Structure 1
Amino acid sequence: MESPQTPEPATVHNIVFGALRRNLAGALHEPGVPAYDELATPWNLAVQASPAAVVEAANPGDVAEVVKFAAANGLLVAVQATGHGIASEMDGALLIHTRALDTFVLDVDKRTARIGAGVTWKTILSACEGVGLTGLSCSAPGVSVAGYTSGGGIGPMARTFGAASDRVRSFEVVTGDGELHQVSAQSDPELFWGLRGGKGSLGIITGMEFELLELPFIYAGALFFDAFHVENVLRTWAQWCPTLPGAATTSVAMMQLPPLPGVPEPLAGKFTIAVRYVYIGTADDGATWLAPMRSAGSLLMDAVGPMPSSMIGMVHSDPEDPLPAAEGHTLLADFPVAAATSLLEAAGPDSSSPQLMVEIRQFGGALAQEPAVPSALCHRDAPFGLCTVGVGPPPVLPAFRAHAGDLMTNMSPWAYGGTLPNFSAGSGAAGFAGNYTPAVLGKLTALAEYFDPSNVFRLGQVPER
């Protein structure tokens, strides 16, 4: 397949948005108005977003109009709903904001949900609470379902139920030619494959339908220990988690939380370590499996117990308010005690680590099994993931990134190679490529050439053609 010529990018000042504005049901905001600043700002305040204009799409037709306009005028297109996964600084691009695409239909009998691209997991979980259902949410339920699922969707129950993208039945999507498609495994298997894990490289998802789980309660939460017990907790976790059944999903995080409103007093301003845990089964069985970690040291807080599945966000208690952050991510092939020792040297309480959080997530279980309908989500067999988060004013963020790079080097003896889409947003085309095997990246690139002939979605995605 021959690569089409990409139009030369047009300068912002010679683009007249009047024609586009007249074709929209929603609003178009240019720089200088409050709505532009509100909608253009991503969740990560360290990203300086300067799109040429922001379109607050009122319906899928608006998305199609923007994409057609961008293709005709040599502009790039970006999209955000909550702004958690923005992949680029967006300078000069047209940004489509999808928060107004908030349709939501819950079918309790069929155990499905149909949503617009602006719907968050918080909305889903709240609606499902009274009917005993839940979805495969992420650790931070404030993010959009569509954005999260397009990156595969690996959350706090991944070892038990796999990836959220495996539960999708159909998508409504606008591709790079400005066409609106209804896509399922039956109607368009290739595009359906790429939308589940391709993280926005093939089109803008405007809606989707997915399966829910019958799961009213979980045994879940986090254990917190102080700095004195960090070494023993981390070493014990490294030996304990490989023994867990598929009914359990866990992670461990070394944290330095500031003394701010909302941070529990026992954790504020201290170096602590948290063991996150979700068990699908009885509370007694969940407690039995967790017992080795409960006895790994004196507890500052024990916040693990039976809870409604709608409260799964409490397991990680990720911050909801926007922050300036520098994030790092890599996958690990193993996490033995020797790896725990190396991690302690680079990020433990005696390391002078500047990171707000350094986390190891255990994968495997159902996530490692290929789904019945294949998808573009790669690296399913990676057993562990390493994440870092540094928070501070933009001038100090490069130091956080440098430290994260050194930490990854320290952990290189256990490197798996590669990353996951939802953990590597903002890392550009090279970072995007690291999410996939060469074969999958090649297939995504070929599909992008077909579905995005003007290359309008190339911001931080498949290599520029």
Structure 2
Amino acid sequence: MTSTPIDLDAHRSRTRSATAAWDLLAADLDGTLHLPGDQDWPAATLAWNVSVTQHPAAVVTAATVADVVKTVRFAADCGVRVTAQPGGHGANRALDDTLLIRTAALDDIWIDSTARTARVGAGVKWGALQSALDGTGLTGLVGSNPDVSVVGFCLGGGLSWFTRPYGPGSGSLSAVELVDAGGTHRWISDDTSPELMWALRGGGGEFGIVTAVEIDLFPAPEITGGRVAFPATDAAAVLRAVAALTATAPAELSVWASIMHFPPIPELPDEIRGQSFCFVDAILLGSEDELTNHLASIRATGTVLRDTTRPLLPGDVGTICEEPTDPSPGVHSSMMLTALDDDLVDLVVERAGTAGSLPLSQIQFRHLGGPSRTGRAGAFDLRPRGAEYAVMTLTVAPAPDLLAAGAEAMSTLFDELAPWSAGPTVPTLLGPSESLDRAFDAPVLDSLRRLKESVDPSHVIRGNYPVHGR
């Protein structure tokens, strides 16, 4: 068999050209360009979920919006796809071979309490924004983790603690500052670009590199919330009590419940290491006495091991679930449910409780029920008709075999939960190996794809979850 000889001169020429191009970009930046082989390459490419190994073509740590503009123009000129991450949440293998822009330095916050709006840079995390709102009587539509960026959360839908009274995070977007696929930097709103704003309210980062957003803020003169912990052996009774409460809960009350198994690892405190619990997490736009009354029936069902419910500042809200803020390994998934009835509770406790056969670290139910609120009129409804709860599953997986086992366990459980399925999930709850066809039905996906072809026909911009698949 003969082989085609390698044209070494052509190969060397391409290599020199590529190196020269990267050198030109690096010289034009206020920030830093990182390339494979650089000493800081592992840190530059690190995903928040460290089970996901990212393989971008290069990383730009942007210092300014001008760096973002220059990088997008470079990508368009060179035929390289470009994407953005402030801290690595939502990372997956769809970003391989892209030019990755780190936007963490774009961290300015402007608050207009009178207009009840905030403008935040792409690097601003929810914890920082919420803390800046302490004392204002206002809140953003924050989720369960203060380390998540405001921009990423809102672009992906954003299931918030305040989704029941005010809608998802995406519905609070009033204006977006972005760099489009041609490298043009501009602010857009419903007045200037209604179709693009529609897509950005939950459709992800496929339509431009977002450098800042303006979001609506919402009245929160009094916030009370926290976690009530029970032994996992009380899970069946606690989950039934949660179902009873949420059947009539006012919109101002949000209740989430979970079964959690902590691994027996030395990094964990003695009081939780190797232990299993049932947690009820709740928040109320109201007083401590009111929340105490709402949760009384749940507290009465089991042995309360710990109770952190208390008056909260806006900056405290993201700490209720006590989620880790440091990068960690794991696999997760989610689905929407029509009910949390006795049969479902029995199934979940049997499969994921203390004697369960599925290797899941956590299964969590988030109550969504009540009138469906989308926020601004230009936002599409991310909650499927009939969806009363979101169920989220997590397996902490420091080893590859545990990752595979966790993913298989989630698939098995969701197959068994199919009779209660309410349709697509929320994009921000997608796992790293999933795609947007689990979050949107065909008409919505078709609309997003048509818009993508209109604003970015060369597919320069790459979101965490591409509208055309991987």
The TM-score with structure 2 as length reference comes to 0.91
Establish whether residue 398 from structure 1 lines up as the match of residue 404 from structure 2: yes
Deviations 1:73-101 (A, max 9, x none): 23222211121122435322110100111
Tell me: CA distance 1:394–1:452, structure 2 relative to 1, closer, same or farther (3 Å): farther
Report Cα offsets for 1:249-281 as digits up to 9, x if no partner: 111110012356885654332111001111111
The match for 1:228 among 207, 228, 233 is 233
**Bigger shift: residues 379-388 or 44-53:** 379-388
SS in 2 for 1:249: strand
Which piece of structure 1 moves more, 419-428 or 403-412?
419-428
Does the 8 Å contact 2:339/2:389 carry over to 1? yes
Alpha-carbon separation, structure 2, partners of 1:338 and 1:445: 39
Q: Deviations over 1:119-175 (max 9, x none)?
A: 111111111113333211111011111001111211112112211222222110122
Whichever residue aligns with residue 52 of structure 1, its letter is A
Q: Determine the structure 2 residue equivalent to 1:456.
A: 460
Q: Report if aligned partners of 1:146, 1:205 keep a CA contact under 8 Å in 2.
A: yes
Q: CA 1:294–1:129 in 2, change beyond 3 Å: closer, same or farther?
A: same
Look up the equivalent residue of 2:79 and give its one-letter code: G
Distance 2:17 2:362 in 1: 45
The alpha-carbon deviation at position 109 of structure 1 amounts to 2.8
Spell out the pairing of 1:370-449 with structure 2 (5 A cutoff). 370-381=374-385, 382-395=387-400, 396-428=402-434, 431-449=435-453
Are 1:25 and 2:30 matched, yes or no? yes
Taking the aligned partners of 2:354 and 2:86, their CA distance within structure 1 comes to: 37
**Structure 1: segments with no counterpart, 5+ residues:** 1-10
Counterpart CA distance in 1 for 2:33 and 2:380 is: 33
Query: For the residues of structure 1 that align with 2:426 and 2:47, how far apart are their CA atoms?
Result: 20
Q: Partner letter of residue 15 of structure 1? A: A
Q: Partner of 2:292 in structure 1?
A: 287
- Equivalent residue letter for 2:183: G
Q: Cα offset for 1:425? A: 4.5
Deviation at 1:218, TM superposition (A): 1.2
Superposition deviation, residue 417 in structure 1? 2.0
1:254-403 aligned within 5 A: 254-258=259-263, 265-365=270-370, 368-381=372-385, 382-395=387-400, 396-403=402-409
Q: Name the residue aligned to 2:90.
A: 85
The more displaced of 298-307 and 207-216 is 207-216
Note the aligned Cα RMSD (angstroms). Answer: 2.1
* C-alpha separation in 2, matches of 1:35 and 1:102: 22
Cα distance between partner residues in 2 of 1:177 and 1:349: 54
Q: What's 2:58 paired with? A: 53
The equivalent of 1:118 in structure 2 is: 123
Distance 1:456 1:12, change over 3 A: farther
**Pairs within 5 Å for 1:239-250:** 239-250=244-255
Instruction: For 1:148 and 1:232, locate their aligned partners in 2 and report how far apart those are by CA, in whole Å.
Output: 33
In 2, Cα distance between the equivalents of 1:299 and 1:12?
A: 64
Q: Does 1:40 align with 2:14?
A: no
**Displacement after TM superposition at 1:46 (Å):** 0.4
Contact 1:71/1:456 (8 A) holds in 2: yes
Aligned-partner Cα distance in 2 for 1:315–1:168 = 24
1:364, distance to aligned residue in structure 2 (A): 2.7
Partner of 2:10 in structure 1?
Answer: none
- Residues 31 and 377 from structure 1, CA distance in 2 versus in 1: closer, same or farther, beyond 3 angstroms? farther
Distance 1:85 1:415 in 2: 24
Separation in 1, partners of 2:353, 2:15:
48
Match of 2:210 in 1: 205
Give me the whole-angstrom Cα distance separating, in 2, the residues matched to 1:191 and 1:76. 20
**Deviation at 1:392?**
2.2
TM-score (norm 1): 0.92
3-state SS of paired residue (2:283): strand
TM-superposed CA distance for 1:12, in Å, is 8.7
Query: Which piece of structure 1 moves more, 298-307 or 93-102?
Result: 298-307
SS at match of 1:15: helix
Alignment of 1:187-206 (within 5 A): 187-206=192-211
* CA apart distance, 1:436: 1.2
Residue type of the alignment partner of 2:415: T
In structure 2, list runs of 5 or more residues that go unmatched. Answer: 1-13
Q: Would you say the 8 A contact 1:134–1:216 is kept in 2?
A: no
Cα distance, 1:24–1:132 mapped onto 2, change above 3 Å: same
Cα separation, 2, equivalents of 1:92 and 1:256: 37
Q: Determine which structure has more spread, i.e. the larger CA radius of gyration.
A: 2
Change (3 A) 1:259 1:112: farther
Partner SS, residue 305 of structure 2: strand
For 1:91 and 1:175, the matched residues in 2 are separated by 21
Q: AA paired with 2:255? A: T
Shift of 1:463: 0.9
Match of 1:185 among 175, 178, 190: 190
Deviations 1:40-74 (A, max 9, x none): 10100000112111001122232222222222323
Which one of the candidate residues 64, 68, 91 is aligned to 1:63? 68
C-alpha spacing 1:34/1:140, structure 2 compared with 1 (3 Å)? farther
What does residue 152 of structure 1 align with?
157
Identity of aligned residues (%): 34
Q: CA deviation at 1:24?
A: 2.4
Structure 2 residue 224 is matched with structure 1 residue 219: yes
Determine if contact 2:384/2:422 at 8 Å carries over to the other structure. no
Q: Give 1:15's match in structure 2, choosing from 2, 13, 18.
A: 18
CA distance change for structure 1 residues 281 and 67 in 2, over 3 Å: closer, same or farther?
same
Stretch moving more, 50-59 or 371-380: 371-380
SS at match of 1:322: coil
Contact 1:177/1:453 (<8 A) preserved = no
